A = this chain, B = another copy of it.
């Protein structure tokens, strides 16, 4: 599975994240698909506890399920990653994120700045509702599985299988699961960005920029804007310094 893509995209350490999954069969099926295509990391966010317990007894993908992590907040699941991608059936409009067709994903990844192999998250929303706008605001882009308009919505386990197949097919899966060491020129991971974002939001609240009525929508916009900047660890340090100075001044 390891190796470079013909178009030059580096392999990534992928983390498959199921957000609010409800059906234990889907969790089990997703784990099996990960195992089939050489993916090791499964994370569950806000998984319905009984489903999660039941899924652990599923056949196939036992190793993946055993080492899966269940967390309460999306931020925990994507924090260490420098790239987060959401999945969508693409029938929804106004997603306010770049939408990449799954078949074009290898080329899209190849174009991204930085050749270093990194950790990336691929998010799947709940069976009923998909990813929420808030969840999508944590994503750099959305991956659309090219289903037909008459029947756009895929079964969760099958959607995971198709995405894992496509990434493995193009050699975009890194076999080594060693965490990458952070360098100044590397893209900042989502944990650093979220921390920066929360500090910036607090400052904007203090200076009265955020209005109670539009606060929620504005914060989603700002988070997307921050992700789109493609900040490096160095950039985050610089911006953190600026924020610290403003915070200090506001405390006076």
Contacts and interface: CB of A to CB of B under 8 A. Distances in A.
Contacts of A45: none
Contacts of A38: 148, 150
Nearest to A149: B38
Interface stretch (A10-18, A130-138, A155-163): A155-163
Interface string A87-115: 00000000000000011000000000000
Interface of A: 1, 25, 29, 32-33, 35-38, 60-61, 102-103, 145-148, 150-155, 157-159, 161-162, 165-166, 168-169
Contacts of A29: 155, 157-158
Contact of A161 (B25, B153, B161): B161
Contact of A165 (B60, B145, B153, B155): B145
B154 A161 contact: yes
Taken together, the copies of this chain in the complex come to 2
Contacts of A60: 151, 153, 155
12 contacts: A25-B25, A33-B158, A36-B145, A36-B147, A36-B152, A36-B158, A37-B148, A154-B161, A155-B157, A158-B158, A165-B165, A165-B166
Given A157-B158, A162-B162, A151 B25 contact: no
Contact of A37 (B103, B147, B157): B147
Given A60-B153, A147-B37, A169 B103 contact: yes
A4 B231 CA distance: 41
Nearest to A58: B155
A155 to B, nearest CB: 6
A1 B157 contact: no
Given A60-B153, A161-B162, A165-B166, 18 more contacts: A1-B148, A29-B158, A32-B154, A32-B155, A33-B158, A36-B145, A36-B151, A36-B152, A36-B154, A37-B147, A37-B148, A102-B165, A103-B169, A145-B165, A155-B161, A157-B158, A159-B161, A162-B165
